[in-house]
Amino acid sequence: MKHNIIIVGVGGQGTLLASKLLGRVFMDLGLDVKVSEVHGMSQRGGSVITYVRAGEKVYSPIIAEGEADIIISFEQLESARWLSYLKKGGTLVSNTQQIDPMPVITGAAVYPEKVLERIAALGVNIVAADALALAAEAGNVKSVNVVLLGIAAKYMGLPEQVWQDAITATVPPKFLEANRKAFTLGYNYEA
Amino acid sequence: MKELLIGNAAIARGLYEAGCKVVSSYPGTPSTEITEFAAEYPEVYAEWAPNEKVACEVAIGASIAGARAFCAMKHVGLNVAADPLYTASYTGVSGGLVIGVADDPGMFSSQNEQDTRRHAIGAKLPVLEPSDSEECLRFTKLAFELSEEFDTPVILRITTRVAHSRNPVELNERVEVPNKPYEKNPQKFVMMPAMAKVRHEIVEERQKKLAAYGADCPFNRVEMADTKIGVITSGISYQYVKEALGERASVLKLGLTNPLPDSLILDFAAKVDKLYVVEELEDIIETRCRVLGLEVTGKEIFSLCGEYSHAAVRKAILGEEAESVAFPEAIPGRPPVLCPGCPHRGLYYALKQAKVYVSGDIGCYTLGALAPLASVDSCVCMGASISGLHGFNKAEGDANYNKAVAVISDSTFIHSGVTGLINIAYNKGISTVIVLDNSITGMTGHQQNPTTGLTLKGDPTAAVDLEALAHAVGIANVRVVDPNELEATAAVIKEELARPEPSLIISRRPCALLKTVKHAAPLSVDADKCRGCKACMKIGCPAISIRGGKAVVDHTLCVGCGVCTQLCRFDAFKTKEAR
């Protein structure tokens, strides 16, 4: 089975750790893995996209429009921006957080209304969650990434233990407990 | 053991396993992590040099001493290092010498899209192009063997997508390679005309041997499948071709792309019905095919600009496209921005108020060109801010000297700004130069540099004293400001612009992302006091937005720098204590 997963958000939100963790899970399952990351200028509060692919043999490290099984989005506007990458019948897991981009802050553009409702109206399977609140509940607001990963995990059909093992291997000990809890809160989340 | 490594980490692992002894580099996205990862191996000596020319010369010196040596840079860094490299091609090597150069198709973090293979053709150097992390490691090791076998520096060319993509890599142990004993050999290593003439002949012979070697070498391979379509490709494009076409095409994968293996190309072309070349950026393989008299399709259907994808290959060659849905409204862009608490924000605000021409440079602070600060007027290359300002002012004439400044970071100033400053002092310029000293190389992700007092490996060391340096080159007026104090900063800029002499202003405050920087508590807005005048919006802080006509602060972003409080005439921003 091939997995095509896209993680999108705003530079600085922790998308890189999520993709690293996801890549680790697939590698532990014995699959070929490719993860493509964004470093450098686009990390400074810009829109960022990370691709995670796994399967018997993976060539391209990126995912094109209409190909993603799952999009994990850390921010509403980014859900809209990268929506075209979702395949027909794919699932969008979206944080409900809104972060105004600079053109909105300067008044040059307007943040669209009711983004997630309008995406749902297009017939897209969408799971929306206030991941920031769940992360706070887990004890670390920075664990938004792991909460969202937990929610998405349910749609990948992989055993929960593989995930917990990967978290243990990837996350520094100091933050381990909060992240394990964040994952479970996400995994058990009911939209 | 297998590990999931980005291409840059795999190259560092390759350096380690190959017994590489000396690494000297200058940071530049997407090449930076190679040297950072290399520094984690105690067996490898690794350093940040002040610029790519110095780094390349250090590696050349280490090779002459007989050690395996390496140097990494981004594509535009090779322009800086081109001088030593073109002649190192003539001298050849003693210990293997590999130059890692990372191109940036799509310009994720660069000012141009130049193709390193052009430099390699000019310098007559072999180029290896890995297409994933596994090849990054393997090619790095083989590059040293190739370098020693053919007595040549080797360019290891990667692109952003290879540098920053992660895939499983098999790790092996390091094999120590003892230094080759140094033997004096001026005929080989002293490049003055009499010797260089002889060496040039040797370089041309080497080119022929390398071209022949390319026909049967571990870097190039043919993957035959359906022969109706044949594709010649290299680097990341190979992965896109395989993903898009699978068994529907035969592929000639080139890992050694300079010089190109003519006989291999001709053999392959004869076996397929229609021949394509898929290569990002320049049409180098394609042009060679045409020289060989082949009918080939390339840049007619693929762009010279930007990054490719398997979707682009599929569309161009097969005419197939995936179905997708789109959000039914234009989506506001999200360009990168100066971080909350960034010390450059206050300085740019002061410059905007001063209404001056700002000669800009390369780094995070180039973002000061974007709205709402929109302060930067020009940005060309590392160091060009200072020399460009001098030219601007000479052209404007002495009567207009007080209308322009240069901005440059501590790291970029050391890289190639200091020569421009010497030029101003020497040639009786009257320019005002501002060094944005944030105590680190910021944009590339916090690398130490000669002004920070720490080495790449974190050891304390000598730090350049910018004030003393400026005095020493002949700049009498040196001022230091804290850019978060808006009024004081504006006053110093005004004073120094008014002075008909050259000045250096050091705008000093550490990068807000540094772990050693202690932040104040986030601010809040007193909604009763806020009049919605938007004065605070002029600094373009990502933590402040307007909701329901009033300013609000995002507590997850605000670091309490207090620049906004200096703009508010109604005292609406509250500190934690006031709350």
> For the domain that residue B289 is a member of, what is the CATH number?
3.40.50.920
Say whether both B46 and B163 belong to one domain. yes
Residues B54/B5, Cβ–Cβ less than 8 Å: no
Q: Is B324 on the interface with A (CB under 8 A)?
A: yes
DSSP H helices, A93-172, are: 102-105, 115-121, 131-138, 144-153, 160-170
Query: Per-residue pLDDT tens for B498-554?
Result: 999 999 999 999 999 998 999 999 999 999 999 999 999 999 999 999 989 999 999
What CATH number has the domain bearing residue B529? Answer: 3.30.70.20
Q: Which residues pair with B524 in a beta bridge?
A: B574
Strands B550-553 and B524-525: unpaired
Total domains in the fold of chain A: 1
Q: How many Cβ contacts (< 8 angstroms) between chains A and B?
A: 200
Task: Say whether B309 and A35 touch across the interface (CB within 8 A).
Answer: no
End-to-end CA distance of chain A: 26
Task: Say whether A101 and B310 touch across the interface (CB within 8 A).
Answer: no
Q: Residue B513 falls within a domain, yes or no?
A: no
Say whether both B172 and B250 belong to one domain. no
Which of B242, B331, B544 is opposite residue A112, by nearest beta carbon? B331
Assign A41 a pLDDT band (cuts: 50, 70, 90).
Answer: low
Q: Residue B332 falls within a domain, yes or no?
A: no
Q: Residue B17 falls within a domain, yes or no?
A: yes
What CATH number has the domain bearing residue B151? Answer: 3.40.50.970
Say whether both B226 and B200 belong to one domain. no
User: Structural domain of residue B61, as residue ranges?
Assistant: 2-213
Q: What is the mean pLDDT of residues A159-167?
A: 89
Q: Which of B540, B573, B550 is nearest to B338 (CA)?
A: B540
Query: Per-residue pLDDT tens for B220-231?
Result: 999 999 999 999
Q: Is A154 on the interface with B (CB under 8 A)?
A: no
Q: Residue B516 falls within a domain, yes or no?
A: no
User: Structural domain of residue A68, as residue ranges?
Assistant: 3-100+113-187
Say whether both B225 and B304 belong to one domain. yes
What CATH number has the domain bearing residue A87? Answer: 3.40.920.10
* Angstrom distance (rounded) from CA A132 to CA A136: 6
Cα pseudo-dihedral B21, B25, B29, B31, rounded to 10: -30
**pLDDT of B341 strictly over 90:** yes
Which of A38, A45, A60 is opposite residue B310, by nearest beta carbon? A60
Q: Is B518 exposed, middle or buried (0-12, 13-18, 19+ CB in 10 A)?
A: exposed
Q: Is B4 on the interface with A (CB under 8 A)?
A: yes
Q: Residue B325 falls within a domain, yes or no?
A: no
Q: Residue A17 falls within a domain, yes or no?
A: yes
Q: Which of A118, A178, A187, A131 is nearest to A159 (CA)?
A: A187
Question: How many other CB atoms are found less than 10 A from the CB of residue B571?
Answer: 11
Q: Residue A42 falls within a domain, yes or no?
A: yes
DSSP state of A66: T
Query: Per-residue pLDDT tens for A65-118?
Result: 999 999 999 999 999 999 999 999 999 999 999 999 999 988 899 999 999 999
Task: State the DSSP H helix or E strand holding residue A174, giving kind and residue range, or none if neither.
Answer: helix A173-187
User: Which backbone phi and psi does B358 adopt, to 5 degrees?
Assistant: -115, 110
Q: Residue A106 falls within a domain, yes or no?
A: no
Say whether both B106 and B233 belong to one domain. no
CA distances (Å), B472 to each of A1, B145, B466, B476, B501, in order? Answer: 66, 46, 10, 9, 16
Quote the pTM value.
0.97
Q: Residue A58 falls within a domain, yes or no?
A: yes
Residue B352 corresponds to which amino acid?
Answer: K
Residue-level pLDDT at B579: 46
Query: Per-residue pLDDT tens for A148-158?
Result: 999 999 899 88
Point out the domain boundary residue: B189, B213, B237: B213
Q: Residue A76 falls within a domain, yes or no?
A: yes
Distance from CA of residue B533 to its chain's centroid?
40
Which of A41, A108, A111 is opposite residue B336, by nearest beta carbon? A41
Point out the domain boundary residue: B180, B213, B246: B213
